[in-house]
Amino acid sequence: MELNAKIPSGPIEGKWEKHIFEMKLINPTNKRKYSIIVVGSGLAGAGGAASMAELGYNIKCFCYQDSPRRAHSVGAQGGINAAKNYRNDGDSVFRLFYDTVKGGDYRSREANVYRLAELSVNIIDQCVAQGVPFAREYGGLLDNRSFGGALVSRTFYARGQTGQQLLLGAYQALERQIGLGKVKMYPRHDMLDLIVIDGRARGIVARDMVSGELEIHLADAVVLATGGYGNVFFLSTYAKGANGTAIWRAYKQGAAFADPCFTQIHPTCIPVTHEHQSKLPLMSESLRNDGRIWVPKKKGDKRPPNEIPEEERDYYLERMYPSFGNLAPRDISSRAAKRVCDEGRGVGKTGLGVYLDFRDAIERLGPDVINDRYGNLFEIYERIEDEDPYKVPMRIFPATHYTMGGLWVDYNLMSTLPGCFVIGEANFSDHGANRLGASALMQGLADGYFVIPYTIGDYLGSTKFEKVSEDHPEAQAAKAAVEDRIKRLLSINGKRTIMSFHRELGRIMWEHCGMSRNRPQLEEALQKIPALREEFWENVRVPGAKEELNQSLEYANRVADFLEIGELMNLDALEREESCGAHFREEYQTEDGEALRDDENYAHVAAWEYAGEGKKPIRNVEPLTFEYVPLARRSYK
């Protein structure tokens, strides 16, 4: 497989502008002759669908939720980065670019990251114009806060609901186009396969989740904006319905899957408390602006936190990383939390937790200011833990939050399968081996509002399309394959529930392919997962019928794919024999326990190519070059 990233030539500052000029344009009146399918309605999907509709294309947009407004971008709390330098603190497009490449531990593509930093500025403007109620100062200007991995204050926010507000902005733009008839929306639809005709993505097979009917939808291009696959871990900060099915089916049809093992484990989530837990809610990273993280110095110290005197507390992030302190990047903060818990200094019933303490900030700023900044987050915490964080420090622990890996895309955000574009978290390109806080919203909107509307035109304008119909044998074959799989799932009638398989898979992933990894563990997982998958197909029980609303069937389809995705993640982690960002291989670490990269052998993207059922996928490589941010050991000390 050839991996041509199609990075424009010339200096990095001018690449995107030059590329825009060089891309084919389509006459405005001809745009309405093209149709595009967008799967997913989060920031990338809704933003992309709305923007392409504004240009005149005919869009069909699909989401599994009952309304596009519920896509899980809605869950992002803390903020969105933009290199506005409104603080006069030395920020610039180049600094945001630099921080993001460094934060990703030099495993992202420079040209894409630069474009992201460049577009960050337009995103804020766009959202303000849509009426997103960002936080403001008394003078009426936009406020900022700080986020991990940066020494400037460039994060814009709307209380603790930034993702919700940005998503509603994109959703409203989308609804406007629905009202104007340019977008046809298909809520409660599950994409179950990609239709490829003559080597090009030309449509999808979707299941109407209310009637259970399988539908064929055809178009000139397909844009996947279906988010990440982190629910492979069962417990995560993702929405329960979030899944990897769309990108996994595209992978099986020929789209390469890049760096699947790069998974973000977010340091500040609510810890596991009981065996039936279904979700680990996020506590925004923004809390680390004012909260201080600590554990007792003594092992097994069971005293209540407020009775532990100052000198017996270990503010370990401040101690280990004095220049970034509590704002150390996520991968580093998570690993540090794991380390202190492994030492037996973790807190809470399970010993898997650390304190996030606001005592000093409340003393310094008063409870009103803290309430203004984090009120809703404190309330979420109080609801779940039944403790008041104004009085008792929060207990937090890392949890799966985001996948930096995803389908491989070129500079135009097209996968290795022509006509199949991938935007937002579903692709791999911008965050390398670790994503910085407040960058996911930025990437989703950059891809949706400002990249895909241009690059899709170039593809459509330079491609000749044969007319295809639903009777096309490829379309019918894809539909038949989906139908077979559904019938098979419903006919197993075994003795175990779908959730029990998902939980077991999650446990394997967390233990073997979580915050730290090593060869024997990964090799063991590569035995366990196929065995579990085999059992799933023999012993799962999926109740109900196919021609009805059947949540069990929806779930079984997703878990069946997770059982394959998990295996690829372990394989990728095994074959990347270095530590970088969130991928920490215990065999490769410095004396002080930091990630040890191997730039000579692994400064590349691993893009996995499907080789057929039961065959080992092929590992292709896209070398990464660092011209503008010279390779260096990442340090936050």
Partner 1 sequence: MNITLHVWRQKDAKSKGRFVKYEANDIIPDMSFLEMLDVINERLTLEGEDPIAFDHDCREGICGTCGLVINGRAHGPRARTTACQLHMRSFKGGDVIWIEPWRAKAFPVVKDLIVDRSAFDRIIAAGGFISAPAGSAPDGNAIPIPKENADLAMDAAACIGCGACVAACRNASAMLFTASKVAQFGLLPQGQPERDVRVKRMVAQMDLEGFGNCTNHRDCQAVCPKSVSVDNIARLNRDFIRSTLVADRRAAVGVGSAG
Tell which positions 32-91 bind partner 1, by CB under 8 A. 47, 50-51, 54, 65-70, 72, 74-75, 84, 86
Q: In the complex, what is the shortest distance from the CB of residue 371 to partner 1, in angstroms, rounded to a whole number?
A: 12
**Tokens linked to 137:** 């100062």
d(CA 113, CA 118): 9
* Chosen residue from 124, 261, 354, 426 binding partner 1 by CB under 8 A: 124
The 200-208 sheet, strands edge to edge: 189-197, 200-208, 214-218
Q: What is the largest CA-CA distance in the chain?
A: 74
Distance of CA 66 to the CA centre of its chain: 21
Q: Kindly name the residue from 107, 202, 292, 330 that is annotated as catalytic.
A: 330
H helix intervals, 262-329: 316-320
Of residues 156-185, which lie at the interface with partner 1 (CB under 8 A)?
156, 158-159, 161, 163-165, 168, 171-173, 175-176, 178-180, 185
Of residues 541-580, which lie at the interface with partner 1 (CB under 8 A)?
541, 543-544, 548-549, 551-552
Of residues 185-244, which lie at the interface with partner 1 (CB under 8 A)?
185, 187, 210, 237, 239-241
State which residue, 71 or 629, has the beta carbon closest to partner 1.
71
Can you spell out the DSSP letters for 428-442? -TTSTTSPPTT-HHH
d(CA 143, CA 136): 5
Of residues 275-334, which lie at the interface with partner 1 (CB under 8 A)?
276-279, 281-282
Q: What is the per-residue binding string for partner 1 in 430-459, x denoting contact by CB under 8 A?
A: -------------------xx--x------
Residue 491 binds partner 1 (CB under 8 A)? no
Of residues 499-518, which lie at the interface with partner 1 (CB under 8 A)?
499-500
* Chosen residue from 10, 11, 14, 131 binding partner 1 by CB under 8 A: 131
- Do 489 and 557 contact (CB within 8 A), yes or no? yes
Residue 365 binds partner 1 (CB under 8 A)? no
* Chosen residue from 97, 134, 355, 408 binding partner 1 by CB under 8 A: 134
Q: In the complex, what is the shortest distance from the CB of residue 375 to partner 1, in angstroms, rounded to a whole number?
A: 11
Nearest to 413, CA basis, from 382, 453, 372, 441:
453
Distance of CA 632 to the CA centre of its chain: 26
State which residue, 111 or 127, has the beta carbon closest to partner 1.
127
609 secondary structure, DSSP code = E
* Chosen residue from 92, 273, 518, 539 binding partner 1 by CB under 8 A: 273
Rounded to 5°, the CA angle 606-612-615 comes to 75
Instruction: Tell me how many residues contact partner 1 (CB under 8 A).
Output: 84
* Chosen residue from 17, 137, 523, 575 binding partner 1 by CB under 8 A: 137
State which residue, 199 or 543, has the beta carbon closest to partner 1.
543
Alpha-carbon torsion angle 578, 583, 585, 590, nearest 10: 70
d(CA 11, CA 624): 16
Residue 386 binds partner 1 (CB under 8 A)? yes
Active-site residue, 70 included: no
State which residue, 165 or 579, has the beta carbon closest to partner 1.
165
70 secondary structure, DSSP code = G
State which residue, 169 or 393, has the beta carbon closest to partner 1.
169
State which residue, 92 or 172, has the beta carbon closest to partner 1.
172
Q: In the complex, what is the shortest distance from the CB of residue 370 to partner 1, in angstroms, rounded to a whole number?
A: 16
- Do 341 and 353 contact (CB within 8 A), yes or no? yes
CA distances from 426 to 43, 413, 588 (A): 12, 11, 28
Exposed, middle or buried, 571 (CB in 10 Å: 0-12/13-18/19+)?
buried
d(CA 163, CA 440): 10
Where in the sequence numbering do the catalytic residues fall?
A: 330
